[in-house]
Structure 1
């Protein structure tokens, strides 16, 4: 709750909108669009300076960071409290100033590090400690997005990889408590308000046909961002790369203010069926570009909302083209389906992605049918693309043939 309030406060101060209401009716996209182009560039330059300098100082003087995945492994190292907190705050500040990365990693890290500290203080066993660190991370996700079920399923499917009762009960309990506590400052609000879309034959058929396309696109996006993240610097180049990257994003935002932020704005426009094919395609290309360059420059953040936005924008393009072949489909409904399919494959969490999109949008549960069909096709395509190619057997040399001849009678005797 406090991280989300900090994010909103920084957004309002940086872009000068709804200054009297931290949680108001004016969205970030509306505030950014209403400010001057020069201010957008200035804020993004400041983002580059703060992010680049902050992360360089953290890597230079702070304790080595430990990821949540590493912390929940058997015998995993503990997450350093101070360094993890600074890392999370830098993510919140940069996303608030316009970074295209997601804000969900910061509350997950804070929840996990607090759970790790509590587990040590209370003397929990190793398996209990792993469960509680994962639950802390899921609770952070549940609180910041008001998705209690999504937070619990994220713990079970992604972090722990089990739906056993010993994990289900604490995961559901902690995520529910966290979401309710966050209502104190954030209110019981859903992330996206969408029209009441109805399911029809066009939506079902195109979800089946386009599911593999979302899987292939998500596979490419995941590989691109993974390479960019692994190549990011941690030395003196980080502040320089960060400044150049965010200044470039500020220049792009002069003509496309929808690019700023984690992607919630473009996703909302897509769900509302308020984007044309041309603008959606342009935003999709530019968002993939700036997300990749931001990771390459060394900035940190999540890919949940960026993946959601990419799937929604791609769906608007595909849905708009599909309507020329078979009219009658609402692109906004297909955007919801496409967001789930893309997110499921880009983060390899089909169940969590479906639950999250339903909780994000409060969409008609009938949409779960085409959503699940698209997710199934997307995940199947991802698995096919990630399958290693068969390797041809190397030619057997003289020595290998003799050894094989010596082993053959023994093998047959053993079999008999």
Structure 2
């Protein structure tokens, strides 16, 4: 069923459809670039104010993890408690007084692809503020929503057809992703593989153009930086064989993570319980962060440590368990955010554990190499976007193309395993009639 129109105002037809499409694509790229840049700068500024580290962190590539680690443990608890208040009260007020939210996927399938402007902007800002304060969810949905809401408004004003408007809304989302992470190709492929499901020319040209423009615009404020500084890593026979063997394990784990977060999000409250659960959830995360500052934020910190070989097998295992738990609990409490960077971090941490065990029998491969391959496979399976995941990780890290061989083996195995779990596990009932997929109910 398609999403109902936000208004009953009739759509005006563009006098020159091609010229209108070009204009909307250009303005969407510029707007998404500015929006992504401003959201990223806001995030860095709030992180600086909340944790009290040098103002130079706002305009440099110095890590949030280092700033959080240097902050007093008591300050982490206080900031996370404030995060719970902002998240709980913010989303409760939005649901109570704002217009109903329309997701990007809903808009792309709708006969009227527009999204409610004010509610969407507030929703995006809440995500950025809470992630800056330490929420374990991702920040990538916010710039995508800003790009999409702009594209929908521009498409309507320009009188584009429904098909063209859907394409532009999807392109706005990809442009926002490209801007905030400096991944122009990744943003375009995300549009084509995930949102539109086609690589046809009608979609490919605007997707590439908007993402390129957005990434270029954002560079004026954020610089031409990539997300992870990864040391030189070598591909070995051991790594290739490990990728083949462990790809299916990563895929099965990704399926479990996806089902867990799906159920947590579906059961999240939107009434008075939201502020209560949110405050309790984030206060507990603050207490955990007194001992594990790596838990705070969207997962970039632990992923970076994993890529650089900065984690032991035991610490990686502990962080993996805690990251999965607090990600699910935050969604269950009613907080919102993406799962791209949390999925990337979970894959890297799991790969450290699997790679450490593998190295006991076949040593010689660095833990960072395991982490990069595992992160890509987990992300590809958990978000069901194998091509996009590969492109994103290579743009995130600027790895050598030699890594394509183990990465593709692992991604292929993970994707097949994920699909197998999705097909067979829901049909399996374990003791007491419990359906582990969450699709059924206990009898």
Same fold (TM over 0.5): yes
Aligned to 1:202: 238
Distance 1:381 1:116 in 2: 37
> Is 2:359 the counterpart of 1:359?
no
CA drift at 1:76 = 4.5
Could you tell me which of 50, 66, 72 is aligned with 1:30?
66
1:389–1:298: structure 2 CA closer, same or farther, 3 Å change rule? Answer: closer
Aligned to 1:169: 205
State TM-score, norm by structure 1.
0.93
> Is 2:54 the counterpart of 1:54?
no
Aligned to 2:440: none
Aligned to 1:85: 121
Give runs of ≥4 in structure 1 deviating > 3 Å.
Answer: 388-391
Give 5+ residue unaligned stretches, structure 2: 1-36, 428-443
Aligned to 1:94: 130
Distance 1:382 1:3 in 2: 33
Q: Classify the secondary structure of the residue corresponding to 2:136.
A: coil
Distance 1:388 1:24 in 2: 48
Q: Rg larger in 1 or in 2?
A: 1
1:329–1:125: structure 2 CA closer, same or farther, 3 Å change rule? Answer: same
Could you tell me which of 260, 263, 279 is aligned with 1:243?
279
Aligned to 2:184: 148
Aligned pairs for 1:336-351 (under 5 A) are 336-351=372-387
| Further displaced range: 20-29 or 44-53 | 20-29
Contact 1:70-1:76 at 8 Å conserved across structures: no
Aligned to 1:65: 101
CA drift at 1:23 = 1.7
Aligned pairs for 1:375-394 (under 5 A) are 375-388=411-424
Q: Residue by residue, what CA displacement relative to the aligned partner does 1:369-409 show, whole Å, maximum 9, x if unpaired?
A: 10000000000011111115798xxxxxxxxxxxxxxxxxx
Distance 1:208 1:368 in 2: 13
Aligned to 2:342: 306
Aligned to 2:19: none
CA drift at 1:192 = 0.2
Aligned to 2:263: 227
> Is 2:72 the counterpart of 1:11?
no
CA drift at 1:18 = 1.6
Aligned pairs for 1:280-295 (under 5 A) are 280-295=316-331
Aligned to 1:369: 405
> Is 2:376 the counterpart of 1:334?
no
Q: Classify the secondary structure of the residue corresponding to 1:177.
A: helix
Aligned pairs for 1:248-287 (under 5 A) are 248-287=284-323
State TM-score, norm by structure 2.
0.87
Contact 2:57-2:63 at 8 Å conserved across structures: no
Distance 2:150 2:246 in 1: 42
Distance 1:25 1:114 in 2: 29
Give 5+ residue unaligned stretches, structure 1: 392-416
Could you tell me which of 160, 183, 186 is aligned with 2:219?
183
Instruction: State the Cα RMSD in Å.
Output: 1.1
Aligned to 1:412: none
> Is 2:357 the counterpart of 1:321?
yes
Q: Residue by residue, what CA displacement relative to the aligned partner does 1:85-111 show, whole Å, maximum 9, x if unpaired?
A: 000000000000000000000000000
Could you tell me which of 144, 147, 160 is aligned with 1:108?
144
Q: Classify the secondary structure of the residue corresponding to 2:240.
A: helix
Distance 1:171 1:135 in 2: 5
CA drift at 1:26 = 2.4
CA drift at 1:78 = 2.5
Contact 1:74-1:127 at 8 Å conserved across structures: no
